[in-house]
């Protein structure tokens, strides 16, 4: 009897494998610019991983593998022609758009819903017969309602709206099953910790920071541009989501750690050098290889650091406090940061309101508890740069290595490049933020992105 059951299970896996290979080939032929992403993840079968979740779905991904129940594969293939390609591409798009990464920092109910809507919207707007499924008319109706509230449908825009409007979101969450195609359990780093050790090798280690998929996303963008140049248009909705990934899905903690470093010793990480880009560039352009960004090694820490806070109306209150608390947590990671760095926190709107100098973690903690924000007028970035220049001329901040400016972005930039590294951290709103000058670094964050994870919280004894 056991041998019979084992033989039946092996047959089901072989049949499911053939079905998924056929589905994969359909996607590659129809959408060649997705070929690298579609081919990236092998399939493993993990039926017990779904039986315990009290959900009907039998599919998921951790960015390394597509994980599925072979019986669900067969059932979906029999049920509806477009269902399996839709599920397969749904999981691939999650990874291209970086949805599974930094999952532990987010409210999973809101992010699951937002990510599912975003990828389903892409596939609906692609308008291909291959991807049509039952229920699309109702999905389109709900998406149109959301567009009126959030603008462009990306997971980040949706999540921001859900996060800021919890009462309305509770009512909307009843529609979540309509957009759900896979389980997101495997996005949670805790899944790997709690998984039976025998399954670690089969399913693979979760790529928490999404570095591998970052390269795949960039490659997909290159392939889309090439396809559009030679064969036809690529739907705008794809470009919108990929652009949003490149601008927004960069963790603030990681950004700040990079920004704080200086005098980097550049070296190539040979394990991560991607020869596909090199050869693809040589083939496409003849003599111009496409090289992946180099890795950097930090050798020194800064001596002086300025945090400028835009205290105009749209960046007041808890948002500023969240930003400062997150920044303090990253600064405090290095036990000796404050022993050789003065931190100026300059409050400003259209003029300088206040300048506080902090030289210890304890002072930063007291500042966070007692800070009073001053301002509320319009925004002009120039006074901060003028103020710093005046201090430097007096001999203060002569070892200044960086300015971090937190703002809504609606201000006037200085006309010339300062002699120190400058980054603008823009608070995302539904207003248009113009581009920063070429000498400045830009990062867009939403208020919820500034929430600290448990591992990032400031702890001072």
Read off the pLDDT of residues 291-333 as tens digits, 9 standing for 90 and up.
Answer: 544 444 444 444 788 999 988 765 556 778 888 888 888 888 7
Pick from 414, 419, 308: which is nearest to 356 by CA? 308
Decide if pLDDT at 66 tops 60.
yes
Q: Are 217 and 242 in contact (CB under 8 A)?
A: yes
Task: Give the pLDDT score at 180.
Answer: 95
**Distance between CA 120 and CA 132 in Å, rounded?**
11
Residues near 224 by Cβ (< 8 Å), separated by ≥ 6?
A: 33, 234, 238, 239, 242
Residue 62 and residue 40: Cα distance in Å, rounded? 12
DSSP annotation of 452 reads P
Concatenate the DSSP letters of all residues of 177-240 into one string: HHH--SB-GGGSHHHHHHS-GGGHHHH----TT-HHHHHHHHHHHHHHHHHHHHT----HHHHH
Is 460's pLDDT higher than 70? no
Q: At what angle do helices 83-96 and 2-30 cross, to 10 degrees?
A: 70
Looking at residue 11, its pLDDT comes to 87
Across all residues in the chain, what is the average pLDDT?
A: 78
Find the DSSP H helices in 31-69: 35-40, 48-51
State residue 170's pLDDT score. Answer: 93
Helix (H, G, I), strand (E, B) or coil at 306: strand
In the predicted structure, residue 202 carries a pLDDT above the cut 70: no
Q: Rounded to whole angstroms, how far apart are CA atoms 264 and 248?
A: 24
Report the C-alpha gap between 358 and 337 in whole angstroms: 12
Query: How many residues in total does the chain contain?
Result: 461
Q: What number of other Cβ atoms are within 10 A of residue 177's Cβ?
A: 12
Mean pLDDT of 47-66: 72
Query: pLDDT, tens digit, for every residue of 134-170?
Result: 999 999 999 999 999 888 888 888 887 888 788 899 9
pTM here?
A: 0.63
Residue 129: per-residue pLDDT: 86
**pLDDT the model gives residue 269:** 45
Cα–Cα distance, 113 to 168 (Å, whole number): 14
> Would you tell me the crossing angle of helices 236-248 and 211-230 to the nearest 10 degrees?
150
Query: Rounded mean pLDDT of 431-447?
Result: 76
For helices 108-126 and 83-96, what crossing angle results, to 10°? 120
What pLDDT does residue 85 have?
94
Using the structure block, give the residue that is written with the tokens 């892409």. 122
Lowest mean pLDDT among 69-78, 403-412, 427-436: 427-436
The 8-class DSSP code of residue 83 comes to H
Six-digit token string for 460: 């001072």
Predicted pLDDT at 143: 95
Residues of the chain with pLDDT > 70, as a percent, come to 71
Write out the DSSP string of 398-437: TTEEEEEEEE-S-SPPPSS--SSEEEEEEEP-SS--PPPP
C-alpha distances (whole Å) from 292 to each of 86, 216, 219, 285, 289 are: 31, 11, 10, 16, 10
Lowest mean pLDDT among 167-181, 306-320, 415-429: 306-320
Per-residue pLDDT tens over the stretch 257-277: 888 775 443 444 444 445 554
Q: In this model, does residue 459 exceed pLDDT 50?
A: no
Torsion of CA 169, 175, 176, 181, to 10 degrees: -160
Mean per-residue pLDDT, 282-287: 54
Span 49-63, average pLDDT: 69
**Residue of higher predicted confidence among 296 and 424:** 424
Minimal CA–CA distance to 72: which of 35, 101, 43? 43
Q: How far apart are CA 220 and CA 84, in angstroms?
A: 22
308, burial (CB in 10 Å: exposed 0-12, middle 13-18, buried 19+): buried
- Give the span between the Cα atoms of 125 and 140, in whole angstroms: 9
Which residue did the predictor score with more confidence, 356 or 194?
A: 356
pLDDT above 90 coverage of the chain, percent: 25
Looking at residues 174-194, what average pLDDT do you find? Answer: 84
């Amino acid at each position: 009897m056991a041998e019979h059951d084992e033989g039946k299970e092996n047959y089901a896996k072989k049949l499911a494998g053939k079905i998924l290979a056929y589905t994969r080939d359909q996607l590659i032929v129809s959408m060649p610019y997705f070929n690298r992403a579609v081919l990236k993840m092998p399939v493993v079968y993990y039926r017990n991983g779904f039986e315990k979740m009290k959900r009907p779905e039998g599919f998921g991904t951790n960015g390394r593998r597509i994980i599925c129940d072979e019986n669900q594969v067969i059932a979906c293939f029999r049920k509806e022609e477009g269902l399996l390609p839709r599920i397969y591409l749904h999981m691939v798009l999650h990874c291209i758009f970086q949805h599974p990464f930094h999952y532990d920092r987010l409210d999973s109910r809101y992010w699951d819903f937002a990510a599912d809507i975003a990828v389903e919207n892409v596939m609906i707007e692609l308008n291909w017969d291959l991807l049509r499924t039952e229920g699309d008319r109702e999905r389109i109706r709900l998406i149109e309602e959301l567009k009126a509230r959030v603008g462009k449908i990306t997971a980040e825009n949706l999540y921001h709206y859900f996060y800021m409007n919890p009462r309305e979101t509770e009512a909307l969450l009843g529609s979540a099953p309509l957009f759900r195609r896979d389980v997101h359990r495997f996005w949670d780093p805790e899944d790997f910790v709690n998984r039976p050790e025998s399954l670690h090798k089969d399913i693979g280690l979760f790529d928490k920071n999404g570095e591998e998929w970052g390269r795949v996303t960039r490659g997909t963008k290159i392939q889309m541009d090439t396809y559009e140049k030679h064969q036809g248009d690529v739907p705008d909705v794809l470009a919108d989501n990929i652009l949003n990934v490149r601008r927004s899905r960069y963790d603030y903690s990681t950004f700040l750690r990079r920004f704080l470093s200086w005098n980097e010793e550049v070296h190539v990480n040979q394990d991560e050098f991607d020869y596909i880009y090199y050869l693809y560039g040589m083939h496409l352009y003849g003599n111009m290889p496409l090289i992946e960004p180099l890795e950097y090694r930090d050798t020194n820490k800064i001596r002086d650091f300025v945090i400028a806070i835009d205290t105009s109306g749209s960046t007041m209150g808890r948002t500023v406090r969240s930003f400062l608390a997150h920044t303090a947590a990253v600064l405090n990671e290095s036990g000796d940061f404050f022993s050789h760095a003065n931190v100026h926190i300059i409050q400003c709107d259209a003029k300088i309101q206040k300048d506080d100098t902090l030289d210890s973690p304890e002072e930063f903690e007291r500042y966070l508890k007692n800070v009073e924000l001053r301002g509320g007028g319009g925004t002009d970035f120039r006074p901060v740069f003028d103020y710093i220049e005046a201090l430097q001329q007096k001999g203060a901040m002569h070892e200044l290595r960086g300015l971090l400016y937190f703002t809504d972005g609606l201000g006037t930039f200085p006309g010339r490049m300062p002699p120190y590294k400058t980054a603008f951290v823009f608070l995302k709103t539904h207003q248009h933020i113009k581009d920063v000058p070429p000498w400045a670094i830009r990062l867009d964050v939403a208020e919820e992105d500034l929430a600290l994870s448990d591992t990032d919280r400031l702890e001072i004894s």
